[in-house]
Chain A
Amino acid sequence: MGSENITGSDRDMDFGDSPEEAAFRLRLREWLQDNNPHLPASSTSDDYWAGQAAWHRALYDAGFFGMSWPPEIGGRGLPGVYEVIVDSELAAAGAPPRPSVGFLVEGILRHGNDDIKRRFLPGIVSGRDRWCQGFSEPDAGSDLASLRMHAQHVPGDGEAGGEYVFTGQKVWTSYSDEADWCLLLARTDPDVPKHRGISAFAVPMHQPGVTQRPLKMINGITKEFGEVTLDGARAAASDMIGEPGEGWSLAMTVVSHEREPGQLGYVARYRKSVDELARQVRDDPARFEAEQLRDLAWAIVEAEMLRLHVSRRLSDRMDGTSHGLEGSVDKLLMTSAEQAVGHAALSVGGTAHDGGDDTWLNMYLYSRAQSVMGGTSEIQRNLVATRILRLPAS
């Protein structure tokens, strides 16, 4: 179970920086002194989402984004643990977390052909092109394989491939208002079992037949998620990612990475929040009661646990151990951390009933989605029970 199968290394276990890692940390720390955009928390303000694209490009241009991806797609080719360093320095500087595009990158890296990878990945990694993810539908949430987005193949005039025409609706489409491209799952073959008839496409968002509508979330955010309706929108057949019918497999790659805190960079977000809450308590300790302090202490402990857990996971990958079932474990730990921070935000930060600052209330409200997005906690528990503990399927 767990890390039992991970092979060892020839040096002693070490949470500390190597000389190269220390030098990298210092460079990032110095860069952040002049380049922190001081955006509001991603969970509480649309201003964050408006500024995220510029932040992504700034991080990338300075050499602090895509640390562990291959150089040919714009990554730095370094061990995954560099992401831990990035996260901890971003948190320490009170800077925004790194943008989360890793699951798109991993999905396209694993399933796309060389042409697809060359055309699309550098733009995603550098932040030049904005992508959204068109997976969920109104009637296909946890049961994603029942999705109905229809893809009709239209052969070309003699040239290879032709194109596909899409009809249907997507929901929970992140950043759909700003996206240039959509990683779309659509049904290309209605006559085979539902998991096998799905294919994945890169679909341009700026074309006739695409309408998107923002979804207003319970914390008032409108720019993170949208609904997308496709009615006659098109993609070239050469923009299919993977083979026909490979969409489900690609989706599983993407969502398993979408569950990984190491990929998402949320450690920085949690740490920044608990540091701010701790500062409030230090500034006026008499204002707080034991129960509030306990909530804060748990948030500190949970955020720290997640940081260390990510360090462990990313270290385990150094020997090429491929990504596996542990993503569900990590998602549940990340959810626990996010919601502990949310409870501390509510408890220590408080609710302004007089119409004042509602940042902490909104952070708390935002934390409720963590046990749903990227696969509900219930689905993750099913996977842990049946795939890791090997309990019999229900």
Chain B
Amino acid sequence: MDVRLSDEQRALRDSAARVVNSLAPRTVRDLDDLERADKLDAAVDASGWRELRTAVDDGAPLASAVEAALIAEELGRGPADTAFLGPTLAAEFRRVAAAPTSGSLETVAFVPDLSALACAADGALPSRAVAIDARGATSALVLVPAPDGYLLAEVALPDTGTMVDLTRPVAAVEPAAVVPVPGQGRPITAEDLARWTSLGLALTCADLVGAMRGAVHLASEYAKTRRQYGAAIGSFQAVQHRLADAFVSLEGSRSIALHAAWSVDASPASDALAAAAAAKAYCARAGRAVCEAAIQVHGGIGNTWECLAHLYLRRALLSSDILGGVGVNLARVLEHHGIGEHHGIGSGHGLR
């Protein structure tokens, strides 16, 4: 066991950090700077990060989920208003289905609360579905039940999205005819779906870790400069302890999220899913608490639209909801321990 990052992994993370540091929004107003946003998109597009999970010759992914998680964390820290999670999960689906890569930017669609993938039976989605990471994407993948598993189908996306997370719009997809993805080499099995879910959970955990890093940094710097009673508020123990707790939650999240990312490619699918679920429950709880702390440390300003803190909170809320937050994932943890289908603590596995 050696869970230090390799030199290559560190170099990858550092290059993502450089892009984020130069092109991610530094203020809420920066979100409206479309020239900046386009440059960020172009930089991410050119980097090849969205293709980390595409297949190489033997069908294995170009890079492990650890590399993808390193990118997700830096983008979360940004907070970077560019698509990554959706295209990465779409690429993973195409890899698993041995389907050709998409020619345009593609994402995935979920049920409206985002806790599970959208599944289209009889050629149409049963109700509204929501595509994540809709910025720049023209289509989203959904699943269609087939005799020996699932097949991939695509659905066109509307031009307009809505934003809980101001950095990552989602797009509502009306029930509509879905088109099978051409050239699929094999169906997606339940085991494939479990592993895909573990990837999705691991990447949302990494994004949460990134958002927490951004929030802790933002609030700590503010606490060093904001003065009341003739002193920096960061010198008061009440403020110090709140930020210390936030940092400690971040560090615990980092450790459990790192393991989840490693497990995606290294563990049996059920173990990978359990590892990812444990990490997601932990990171979702921590993410909200840490971002709330960042707002509290900013006081009144933290509750204004102009303060960056709510961008992190909103980002954390979206990442928590994707593939389920605390309840769904605690249920997955219990199920892995042989305690299943219980008492409404949370339910749902990949599909609803």
How many Å from the CB of A27 to the closest CB on chain B?
16
* Also in contact, A293 and B240, with CB within 8 A (given A8-B4, A309-B252, A309-B255): no
Q: A310-339 toward B: CB 8 Å interface, digit per residue (1/0)?
A: 011001101100000010010011001000
> Which of the candidate stretches B48-56, B83-91, B171-179, B335-343 sits at the interface with the other chain?
B335-343
Does residue A92 face the partner (Cβ distance < 8 Å to B)?
A: no
| Chain A residues with a Cβ closer than 8 Å to the other chain, count | 66
Determine the distance from Cα of A148 to Cα of B156 in the docked complex, in whole angstroms. 76
With both beta carbons as reference points, the residue of chain B lying nearest to A319 in the complex is identified as B4
Report B347 CB to chain A, min CB distance, Å.
Answer: 11
Q: Name A's interface SS.
A: helix
Number of interface residues of B (CB under 8 A): 57
CB of A10 within 8 Å of the partner chain: yes
Query: How many A-B pairs with Cβ below 8 Å?
Result: 198
Contact of B345 with A12 in the complex, beta carbons under 8 Å: no
**Closest CB in chain B relative to A379 CB, distance in Å:** 11
B164 to chain A, nearest CB (A): 25
A14's partner among B3, B237, B241, B252 (CB-CB below 8 A) is B3
**Chain B proximity mask over A12-48: 1 for CB below 8 Å, otherwise 0:** 1111111001000000000000000000000000000
How many angstroms between the C-alpha atoms of A289 and B339 in the bound complex?
12
Q: Is A304 an interface residue (CB 8 A)?
A: yes
B251 and A2: CB pair below 8 A? yes
Inter-chain contacts of B9 with A (CB < 8 A): 8, 12-13
Q: How many angstroms from the CA of A18 to the CA of B266 in the assembled complex?
A: 13
Is A373 in contact with chain B by the CB < 8 A criterion? no
Q: Are B255 and A308 in contact (CB under 8 A)?
A: yes
Q: Closest approach, in angstroms, between the C-beta of A305 and any C-beta of chain B?
A: 4
- One digit per residue, 1 when the CB lies within 8 angstroms of any chain A CB and 0 when it does not, for chain B 285-327 equals 0000000000000000000000000000000000000000000
A79–B4 CA distance with the chains assembled, in angstroms = 13
> Are A384 and B3 interface neighbours, CB within 8 A?
no
A353 on the B face (CB < 8 A): no
Determine the chain A residues whose CB is within 8 A of the CB of B240 once the complex forms: 381-382, 385-386, 389, 391, 394
Q: A15-B263, A329-B247, A394-B235 are in contact. Are A6 and B330 (CB under 8 A)?
A: no
Task: Type the 1/0 row for B1-14, where 1 means its CB is closer than 8 Å to any CB of A.
Answer: 11111111110000
User: Contacting chain A: which of B105-113, B135-143, B189-197, B217-225?
Assistant: B217-225
Task: Tell me, rounded to whole Å, the shortest Cβ–Cβ distance linking A84 to chain B.
Answer: 7
Cβ-defined contact, B330 with A298, below 8 A: yes
The smallest beta-carbon distance between B80 and chain A, in angstroms, is 19
Chain B 218-239 residues near chain A, CB threshold 8 A = 220, 223-224, 231-232, 234-237, 239
Establish whether residues B256 and A308, one from each chain, have CB atoms under 8 Å apart when the complex forms: yes
Of the listed stretches A199-207, A277-285, A359-367, chain B binds A277-285
Who on chain B is nearest to A392 by CB? B235
What is the CB-to-nearest-CB distance from B308 to chain A, in angstroms, rounded to a whole number? Answer: 18
Which residues of A are found within 8 Å of B343, using beta-carbon distances?
Answer: 288-290, 293
- The verdict on B243 contacting chain A, using a C-beta distance below 8 Å, is yes
Tell me how far the C-beta of B328 lies from the nearest C-beta in chain A, rounded to whole angstroms. Answer: 11
B256 A384 Cβ-Cβ under 8 A: no
8 contacts between A and B (CB under 8 A): A14-B2, A278-B337, A278-B339, A306-B252, A315-B2, A333-B251, A386-B240, A394-B240
Which A residues are within 8 Å of any B CB, using their own CB? Answer: 1-3, 6-18, 21, 79, 81, 84-85, 278, 281-282, 285, 288-290, 293-294, 296-298, 300-302, 304-306, 308-309, 311-312, 315-316, 318-319, 326, 329, 332-333, 336, 378, 380-382, 384-386, 388-394
- In addition to A12-B9, A14-B266, A393-B235, 8 A-B residue pairs with Cβ atoms within 8 Å of each other are A8-B5, A14-B3, A81-B2, A84-B1, A290-B343, A305-B256, A311-B3, A326-B251
Residues of B within 8 A of A (CB): 1-10, 64, 66, 213, 216-217, 220, 223-224, 231-232, 234-237, 239-241, 243-245, 247-248, 250-252, 254-256, 258-259, 262-263, 266, 278, 281-282, 330-331, 333-334, 337-339, 342-345
For the complex of A and B, the 5 pairs showing the least CB-CB separation, nearest first, are A385-B240, A391-B234, A309-B255, A384-B244, A381-B244
